[in-house]
């Protein structure tokens, strides 16, 4: 009996010894799988499908950002450097500021600091539309202006009241050079009343005025 008990104990020990490596291996495998498992699969390799998807998303985001930067902000109008007389005239009225490319460029630089440059871009686009005579070109430019500055889905949407928007929607049924006249006037008035006074007190205007004044004295 004692021998039988010893043999039984030895069998149990051997059985336990044989099971332990497998169990430990399974536990080790399970333990490794948890921390290293990916979001879509239970694999441990770094090149699994979920990482590929994530890398593709990151690449797409970088590409989109690069394309937006490449598109950039439309170039300013070409113009000679303003004279001291011109810059002084800008303080006399908003109309005189908007009359010259140099004035519009300086004002546009200020609007950019206030994140409202779209107002000037919309106004300029409307002015360009008025110069067109070809019907197909007018329709195409009107569509682009609508998508860029009128559509509520556009990040460059300008602030217009509901009455003006209704007028635009009616006009878009048969676009012309004057499709956006009411909207252009409203944005012009907004810039005049809201942004122009701040521009006259801005560092952009004061620094330009001081620089030209100093050059005038030196001359």
What is the tens place of the pLDDT at every residue in 76-117?
A: 788 789 999 999 999 999 999 999 999 999 999 999 999 999
Q: What is the pLDDT of residue 132?
A: 97
In the chain, % of residues over pLDDT 90: 61
- Domain residue spans of the chain: 84-218
Query: So what's the pLDDT on residue 13?
Result: 56
pLDDT for 25 beyond 80: no
**So what's the pLDDT on residue 217?**
87
Written in H, E and C, the secondary structure of 46-98 is CCCHHHHHHHHHHHHHHHHHHHHHHHCCCCCCCCCCCCHHHHHHHCCCHHHHH
Q: Which CATH architecture has domain 84-218?
A: Orthogonal Bundle (1.10)
| Non-local CB neighbours of 107 within 8 Å, separated by 6+ positions | 97, 98, 120, 191, 195, 196, 199
Please tell me the predicted confidence (pLDDT) of residue 197. 98
Average pLDDT over residues 139-151: 98
Please indicate whether residue 121 or residue 46 has the higher confidence score (pLDDT).
121
pLDDT at 141 > cutoff 60: yes
Residues 183-195: pLDDT tens digits? 999 999 999 999 9
Which residue shows structure tokens 């009107």? 142
Higher pLDDT: 66 or 217? It is 217
Query: pLDDT over 70 for what percent of the chain?
Result: 65
Average pLDDT, the chain: 78
* The model's pTM: 0.66
Model confidence at 124: pLDDT above 70: yes
In contact, 160 and 186? CB cutoff 8 Å? yes
Q: Degrees (nearest 5) of the Cα angle 143, 147, 150?
A: 105
The pLDDT score that the predictor gives to residue 79 is 78
- By C-alpha distance, which of 166, 130, 124 is closest to 149? 124
């Amino acid at each position: 009996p004692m021998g039988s008990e010893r043999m039984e104990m030895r069998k149990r020990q051997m059985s336990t010894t044989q099971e332990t490596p497998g169990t430990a291996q399974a536990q080790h495998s399970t333990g490794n799988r948890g921390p290293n498992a990916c979001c879509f699969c239970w694999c441990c390799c770094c090149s699994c499908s979920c990482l590929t998807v994530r890398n593709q998303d990151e690449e797409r985001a970088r590409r989109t950002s690069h394309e937006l930067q490449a598109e950039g902000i439309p170039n300013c109008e070409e113009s000679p450097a303003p004279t001291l007389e011109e810059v002084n005239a800008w303080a006399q009225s908003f109309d005189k500021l908007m009359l010259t490319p140099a004035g519009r460029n300086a004002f546009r630089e200020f609007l950019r600091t206030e994140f409202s440059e779209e107002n000037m871009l919309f106004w300029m686009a409307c002015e360009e539309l008025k110069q067109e005579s070809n019907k197909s070109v007018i329709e195409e430019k009107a569509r682009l202006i609508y998508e860029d500055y009128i559509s509520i889905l556009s990040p460059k949407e300008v602030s217009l009241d509901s009455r003006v928007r209704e007028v635009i929607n009616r006009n878009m049924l048969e676009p012309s050079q004057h499709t956006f006249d009411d909207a252009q006037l409203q944005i012009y008035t907004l810039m005049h009343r809201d942004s122009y006074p701040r521009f006259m007190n801005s560092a952009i205007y004061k620094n330009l005025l001081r620089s030209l004044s100093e050059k005038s004295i030196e001359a």
